[in-house]
Structure 1
Amino acid sequence: MKHHTENERQPRGAKTEHKAQKENTHKGRMDDRAELKPGARDGITRSVFSTHSPELLYCSSWDKDVRVYDTEKSTLRGHATVGSPVLDIAVDKGTLSVFCGCLDGSVVEIDGAAMEERTIGKHLGGVKGVAQVESRVFATGGWDKKFCLWDARAQSAQSVFDLPKKVYSIDAACEMVVVGMAERAVYLFDVRRLDRPYQKRESSLRSQTRSVRLFHDAGGFVTSSIDGRVSVDYIDDAQTPRCYAFKCHWETITQNSERVALVHPVHALCLDAAGQLATGGGDGKVYLWNIHTKKRVSEFMRYPSSISSLCFSGDSSRLAVASSYCFEEGEKEHGPDQVYIQQIHK
């Protein structure tokens, strides 16, 4: 969390920093959300809806568990415990399998029906990003500065690429993978040709990357930072004039008789096929934006703690929200690590 005075000059990137409009913003109510119980015993790292069984939601956490909830009944369907905290997961599109990236570097598959686990391979450092490429094929990125492509039917990585920095976040769509790294490095890979990155970029945001997410058609990607900003970038160079960035998860407070901006990190992003973007921050707030019109369309009542993960349901009528303290302010008392299902009204 950072403080800026109102008159402080903000860093300027190569793209336009857009002030998102807020007309006709819908405000969600507390009764629009359902809490999934029991919650995690430690920080929640990811929540992902299943495309195979749309009512199922998979959640990973630092307590070494992967839980699966029935969101229609708001009940716990089952859980599996692995040998290390789970930093990220991806749910297989064609089966109930879950691919996990763990703190000890393990890459694990969990059979979502039997909730049994097996180790597929290993990084030399924590696996911070996991993304589904196609059924039984997924990508991982780690703190060992490796990008790997895996086929779950094999016991080793099919491709390994050395990266310049450790990985903070990855995402995949339409055979494209985006990798967000330390020191604002961003690589794009075409999985059909992994001899070199498709593109090498530097984030236009001036602070550390927290999350990256691809458009569903892989035409562009969204990046968030610890400094309360989000950028929208297009992959085709001809679309560069359409790129922009905007501030979000900023609050104005009075401190020592001076109005200052309280800036929260944007920990979580998710996109749907229509271009609706959800952002979640260290302020416990969740906002919905239209990336095409550059407008904020919804905001929801504050959650008990930081927002660590977001995921739209397949029809975008619901949003899985992980409220779980992300230690922006160090050790302190905080709310429970809990997942909610937020209803979205069109």
Structure 2
Amino acid sequence: MGDSSDSSNEYTLKSPPTDCISAVKFQPNSSHLLLVSSWDTGVRLYDVNSNTLRMQYNHPAPVLDCCFHDAVHSYSGGLDNTLKMYDFNAAKEFVVGSHEAGIRCVDYCPEVNVVITGSWDSTVKLWDPRTPCGTGSFSQPDKVYAMAVSGDKLIVGTAKRKVLVWDLRNMGYVQQRRESNLKYQTRCIRAFPNKEAYVLSSIEGRVAVEYLDPSPEVQKKKYAFKCHRLKDDKLEKIYPVNAIAFHQEYNTFATGGSDGYVNIWDPFNKKRLCATLAIASSVVDEDETVGQRNPDQIFIRNLSTAETKPK
């Protein structure tokens, strides 16, 4: 999540995916290149400034997540159970390794220089990007649904609302075992840039702010709140919170829900800063005829400081 002095500049990217968008990731330290994975089996690299599709590669099955390793290499995984690395300069792809079931999460930790995958086979695997090759497999209590890197810490959310905190420099034991404060299935986890906390969302229109320090004094600061809910007459529609993204300077964050909206939150003053259209939208309307769906789109909007800075 970045910002700009011009908040009126909003547009959609050309040549979007043709099926549900599973992940959107900006290049590290840049808002110029955007990596997008999709259920149409494709991983696409967009030049946001020129609104062009730079390149695309594919898996044999839907892709559930992707990440940048550096400016010229990406990693991706999905329902073909394989982790792929793509070299943008050479326009070549490599199969790095595999899991026993679908790969739900792919991330990179620059502090330890390791690529991490989380799978529905209930394992997390580490991969050395220099070779590239696998360096270890670590059992989780259940299927991996969400994952986030915080410095040299790895936060893993699994089925049955379990949350584990690992030290990527010493994976010999689990540093912390927790249970989500939210009553329903974990959908997404993202870490604060200040490395002190993380945000966890669920399928039931709710978000929790959790702190990594286990001391009772710090744990008193954690809280949860409702969001992405729409009231229609006396009926309240509750939507999953599918995505979370942080502003790297302000530590404010955005949430994207199945209601098609993005909300931006000030976690320190516990209030919403603004609401806007989704930056990547794959929505099936409940009122639509079976087999029909809205087109998949990626919206680019330059956010102003007023929309992202804590007040």
User: TM-score, length-normalised on structure 1?
Assistant: 0.81
Which of residues 189, 214, 225 is equivalent to 1:246?
225
Which of residues 270, 277, 282 is equivalent to 1:324?
282
Pairwise CA distance, 1:326:
6.5
More RCO (CA 8 Å, sep 6+): 1
2:244 is aligned with 1:269: yes
Which residue number in structure 2 is paired with residue 286 of structure 1?
262
Mapped to 2, the partners of 1:219 and 1:329 lie a distance apart of: 42
On the 8 A contact 1:120/1:154 being kept in 2, the answer is no
Pairwise CA distance, 1:53:
5.5
Mapped to 2, the partners of 1:225 and 1:296 lie a distance apart of: 18
The letter for the 2-side match of 1:151 is: D
Mapped to 1, the partners of 2:271 and 2:29 lie a distance apart of: 32
SS in 2 for 1:183: helix
Mapped to 2, the partners of 1:325 and 1:60 lie a distance apart of: 16
Distance 1:76 1:283, change over 3 A: same
Mapped to 2, the partners of 1:122 and 1:107 lie a distance apart of: 6
The letter for the 2-side match of 1:240 is: Q
Mapped to 2, the partners of 1:278 and 1:54 lie a distance apart of: 16
After superposition, the C-alpha distances for 1:8-40 in whole angstroms (9 at most, x for unaligned) are xxxxxxxxxxxxxxxxxxxx98x5321101110
Gaps of 5+ in 1: 1-27, 304-320
Distance 1:39 1:290, change over 3 A: same
Which of residues 57, 71, 75 is equivalent to 2:34?
57
Moved more, 271-280 or 239-248: 271-280
2:218 is aligned with 1:260: no
On the 8 A contact 1:43/1:326 being kept in 2, the answer is no
2:101 is aligned with 1:121: no
Distance 1:276 1:181, change over 3 A: same
After superposition, the C-alpha distances for 1:241-294 in whole angstroms (9 at most, x for unaligned) are 11000000011112xxxx122111111111123211100111001110011111
Distance 1:293 1:53, change over 3 A: closer
Mapped to 2, the partners of 1:334 and 1:116 lie a distance apart of: 33
The letter for the 2-side match of 1:77 is: R
Q: How does 1:39-50 map to 2 (within 5 A)?
A: 39-50=16-27
CA-based RMSD of the aligned residues comes to: 2.0
The letter for the 2-side match of 1:280 is: G
2:85 is aligned with 1:109: yes
Q: How does 1:1-346 map to 2 (within 5 A)?
A: 32-51=9-28, 54-92=31-69, 94-134=70-110, 137-154=114-131, 156-238=133-215, 239-254=218-233, 259-273=234-248, 274-300=250-276, 302-303=277-278, 321-325=279-283, 331-346=290-305
Distance 1:99 1:122, change over 3 A: same
User: TM-score, length-normalised on structure 2?
Assistant: 0.89
Pairwise CA distance, 1:332:
5.0
Identity over the aligned pairs, expressed in percent?
A: 35
Mapped to 2, the partners of 1:228 and 1:99 lie a distance apart of: 30
Mapped to 2, the partners of 1:284 and 1:171 lie a distance apart of: 23
The letter for the 1-side match of 2:241 is: V
Pairwise CA distance, 1:95:
3.5
The letter for the 1-side match of 2:109 is: V
Which residue number in structure 1 is paired with residue 309 of structure 2?
none
On the 8 A contact 1:130/1:171 being kept in 2, the answer is no
Pairwise CA distance, 1:58:
0.8
After superposition, the C-alpha distances for 1:165-212 in whole angstroms (9 at most, x for unaligned) are 101111112111111111101111110110111111100000011000
On the 8 A contact 1:52/1:95 being kept in 2, the answer is no
Mapped to 2, the partners of 1:202 and 1:326 lie a distance apart of: 31
Q: How many equivalent residue pairs?
A: 295
The letter for the 2-side match of 1:246 is: F
On the 8 A contact 1:50/1:96 being kept in 2, the answer is no
SS in 1 for 2:100: coil
Mapped to 2, the partners of 1:251 and 1:53 lie a distance apart of: 34
Pairwise CA distance, 1:114:
3.3
Mapped to 1, the partners of 2:208 and 2:226 lie a distance apart of: 9
The letter for the 2-side match of 1:169 is: A
